[in-house]
Amino acid sequence: MAILQLIEPEVKDLGGFVARRSLPYPHRQMVGPFIFFDHLGPSVLPPNKGIDVRPHPHINLATLTYLFDGSIMHRDSLGIVQEIQPGAVNWMTAGKGIVHSERSPDFDRHNETTIHGIQTWIALPVEYEETDPWFTHYPAENLPTWDKNGVTIKLIAGEAYDHTSPVKVFSPILYLDGVLSANGHFNIPTDYSERAVYSVTEGISINDQPIEPYRLAILESGHEVKVSATDAARCIVIGGEPLGTRYKWWNFVSSRPERIEKAKSDWRDCRFATVPDETELIPLPEVVTEANPL
């Protein structure tokens, strides 16, 4: 049996915009360094309706945004403004603290648009938690992409199949996008002690066991695993090495609960840097039961 746990995500309706959250999950906080996994959409936004995630803070983690469809404009407290489009990567290292907003580009607001993609948070090793914040955009054409056995694989981050993604990471990580044709198949590397497969669409099987769409299958360590498709299908594979316990509250992740308490007071008292040309912000919530999307 290759599947250790099968996670059905929590579905959040964010005002016409759907997010499916698989991590964190009861009895499964992380997969390798991945501590947050959101499947955004697919959602159709009508004209004059866009995404507007107001400025909010992060500490001691990195965020990685990867889109299948649509676009998002990133703005942060470093002064960086960067649109992300399908197949590219926006990597933001929060480190000691960063603030950012995510909104639909102005052009998209005049038209009907689809938003569809994956947002992940990646915990940083303890020695890098307080690194200076930085942001890097990686165009789609810079990410290793190849075809084999009826599958197109894009290596989003990490190392696999003798390929290395240019995305700078802080610990061993596996993150790939697999687009399968009918009867396409590929094996997941056994190099990483923690691995999972997310079924973006229907038609995915793991060791010939069909998996419903929108499921995160946590895999047993060390076992050879084959992913296949009965028809055109898509999946995301994540993995890596565990980093130890992490505490999470709202948008804050850290190995130290006292660091989260400091971040809470810093945001409440306006001690974080601000995002240029942004006048709004998301206030510190009174009660939090989970991290917010985006």
Angle at 256 between CA 250 and CA 258, to 5 degrees: 75
Q: Is the pLDDT of residue 222 over 70?
A: yes
End-to-end C-alpha distance for the chain, whole angstroms: 34
15 confidence band (pLDDT: 50, 70, 90): low
Pairing mode of beta strands 247-249, 163-164: unpaired
**Angle CA 175–181–183, to nearest 5:** 105
* Two tokens, residue 223: 């076992």
How confident is the model over 38-43, as a mean pLDDT?
94
The token pair that represents 274 in the structure block: 């601000």
At 82, which amino acid appears? Q
3 state DSSP class of 272: coil
Q: What is the mean pLDDT of residues 173-201?
A: 97
pLDDT at 108: 86
12-16, 50-54, 83-87: which range is least confident on average?
A: 12-16
Give the residues across from 237 on adjacent strands. 176, 197
Mean pLDDT of the region 139-166: 98
Q: pLDDT-based confidence at 291, cuts 50/70/90?
A: very low
Note the pLDDT tens digit of each residue in 70-119.
Answer: 999 999 999 999 999 999 999 999 999 999 999 999 888 888 999 999 99
**Residue 285 φ/ψ, nearest 5 degrees:** -70, 155
Lowest mean pLDDT of 7-16, 50-59, 129-138, 274-283, name the range.
7-16
